[in-house]
Amino acid sequence: MVVSAIKGMSDIYSPEVEVWREIEEKARQLFLRFGFREIRTPVVEKAELFARSIGEDTDIVQKEMYTFPDRKGALLTLRPEATASIVRAIIQHRLHNIPTMGKFFTIGPMFRYERPQKGRYRQFHQIDAEVIGFEDPVVDAEAMYLAMLFLEETGLRNIELRINSLGCSLCRPPYKKRLVEYLKNYETSFCKDCARRLNSNPLRVFDCKVPGCREIVSGAPKVTDSLCEHCRQHFEKVCFYLDEVKCGYKHDRNLVRGLDYYNRTAFEIVAGGLGAQNAVGGGGRYDGLFAELGGPDIPAVGFAIGMERLMILLKAEVKKERVKRPDIYFIALNEEAREKFFGLAQNLRKRGLYVELGYELRSLKSQMRRANKFGSSHVIIVGESELEKKTAILRNMDTKEQSELPLDNNTEQVLIEKLSKENE
């Protein structure tokens, strides 16, 4: 029987993987310009890390976590997101004490036990960024600006930044009370999840996609109308800085996030073309999380972008040309010819060229066909008569020009110079 991959978990291969790499590289380059340092944390953590940070009554913890006991019975979880792990790592290694280490990014797989569908998988990948140590709204705005700039640089158009403020530990509790009072009027009309959330996590009701619940919520008091003076000013300043860099946004008063740890700024980046899974990225401020996880009281802001959803949106751009063409494809027509250029091919690779070899001593026609499939820009052919003359045939596959190439100690250098001249 053939073994296949786990449902909702994908293999990523060419030509898509070339686009993945390009996007990841773009993220790295851009994030470095904003002063971010890379951090790589394990994909498995103790289960309690996520239960404590993301929140007991969230979709992620309630029904989406891959949690299992290891051989000694310790409960482990495949990370559903990156923030909790990064915060754990920062606390554990006291990275917050290093003044130049306030911005972190990571790129890697996350795991959530969800029903697989377009844009929603069980293993997916995030580009994640976190800024720690600053309460100032300038940081929130910069994080959102960076997320938007990055998405634009990947070629994405028609995306919308939606922002909201969720208040703080001062203004949220009284607001929550008012919200519950309102929601209680509709107690019997909510879906099963929301009926539960009503008591444990009322804000989450805003996140529900069930039409009946959405309707009730549309008339509910909004958290933005209950902000304390500090939160109000903070939010205004976030908007000011976004305006300053002409980063468009929409104030979405119904926006809350699926994780408990957010306070004040919350945001989402949505795009058309993803159906119900319309968020490519999201993030927000999480000033209480460090203390919650036993660390120092440090404010922070972060966001995550979903690679798969980004890839769906960029699908039209996935073209074969992104797969690199060989600079040279070697065709040997007999064993002796292959012995002659095996070393030469390796040396050319060492010097930076992409070289392919015809590993099978097939007919010229069949090897030329293979070289063409690779889209090779040059082919070098060596057969019996070339061996006698100590030469090779060099063919430019684009111009169809053919020339004789002496095979001697100089061949490597001659080829390098010839190709770099052509590329000028």
Among 16, 66, 222, 258, binds ligand ATP (CB under 6 A): 258
Tokens of 236: 């205004």
- Closer residue to ligand ATP in complex, CB, 171/194: 194
Q: Is 162 in the site for ligand ATP (CB under 6 A)?
A: no
> Is the Cβ of residue 133 or residue 306 nearer to ligand ATP in the bound state?
306
Spatial distance between the Cα atoms of 137 and 239, rounded to a whole number of angstroms: 9
Please give the radius of gyration of the chain, using alpha carbons only, rounded to the nearest integer.
Answer: 28
Closer to ligand ATP by Cβ: residue 114 or 136: 114
The answer to the question of residue 79 lying near ligand ATP (CB under 6 A) is: no
Give 3-state DSSP helix, strand, coil % of the chain, rounded to 5. 45, 20, 35
Q: Nearest residue to ligand ATP, using CB? A: 306
Q: Which member of 105, 121, 175, 261 binds ligand ATP (CB under 6 A)?
A: 121
Round to whole Å and give the CA distance between 11 and 13. Answer: 6
Residue from the set 129, 141, 304, 337 that interacts with ligand ATP by CB under 6 A: 304
Contact range with ligand ATP by CB under 6 A, out of 44-52, 121-129, 174-182, 382-390: 121-129
Q: Which stretch binds ligand ATP (CB under 6 A): 95-103, 120-128, 319-327, 384-392?
A: 120-128
Residue 204 binds to ligand ATP (criterion: CB under 6 A): no
How far is the C-alpha of 132 from the C-alpha of 138, rounded, in Å?
A: 13
Question: Applying CB under 6 A, does 10 fall inside the site for ligand ATP?
Answer: no
- Does 126 engage in binding with ligand ATP (CB under 6 A)? yes
State the Cα torsion 60-303-274-64 to the nearest 10°. Answer: -10
Site string for ligand ATP, 307-326 (x = CB under 6 A): -xx-----------------
Q: Are 61 and 50 in contact (CB under 8 A)?
A: yes
When binding is defined by CB under 6 A, the residue of 112, 234, 264, 340 that contacts ligand ATP is 112
Q: Nearest 10 degrees: CA dihedral of 350, 354, 360, 364?
A: -120
Which residue type occupies 266? A
Q: Which of 224, 250, 233, 242 is nearest to 167 (CA)?
A: 224
Q: Which of residues 270-299 bind ligand ATP (CB under 6 A)?
A: 277, 279-282
Q: Compute the least distance from the CB of residue 309 to ligand ATP, in Å.
A: 4
Taking the least distance from each CB to ligand ATP, the nearer of 258 and 383 is 258
> Is the separation of the CB atoms in 309 and 358 below 8 Å?
no
Strand partners, 104: 37, 130
Dihedral sign for Cα 181, 175, 172, 177, please.
negative
For ligand ATP, how many residues bind (rule: CB under 6 A)?
18
Smallest gap from Cβ 284 to ligand ATP, in A, equals: 9
Q: Which is nearer to ligand ATP, 128 or 287 (CB)?
A: 128
Does residue 81 belong to the site contacting ligand ATP (CB under 6 A)?
Answer: yes
Task: Specify the DSSP class assigned to residue 95.
Answer: G
Interacting residues of 188 by C-beta distance below 8 A, sequence separation 6+: none
Closest approach, Cβ 35 to ligand ATP, in A, equals 22
Nearest to 84 by CA among 305, 302, 282: 302
Select from 299, 119, 136 the least CA-distant residue to 233: 136
302 close to 104: Cβ distance less than 8 angstroms: no
Q: Single out the segment in contact with ligand ATP by CB under 6 A; choices: 12-20, 90-98, 113-121, 398-406.
A: 113-121
Instruction: Name the residue type at position 352.
Output: G
Can you tell me the distance from the alpha carbon of 166 to that of 201, in angstroms, rounded to the nearest whole number? 13
| Minimal distance, residue 26 CB to ligand ATP, in Å | 17
List 50, 104, 124, 267, residue binding ligand ATP (CB under 6 A) = 124
Q: Which is nearer to ligand ATP, 262 or 341 (CB)?
A: 262
Judged by the rule CB under 6 A, the positions of this chain that interact with ligand ATP are 81, 112, 114, 119-121, 124, 126, 258, 277, 279-282, 304, 306, 308-309
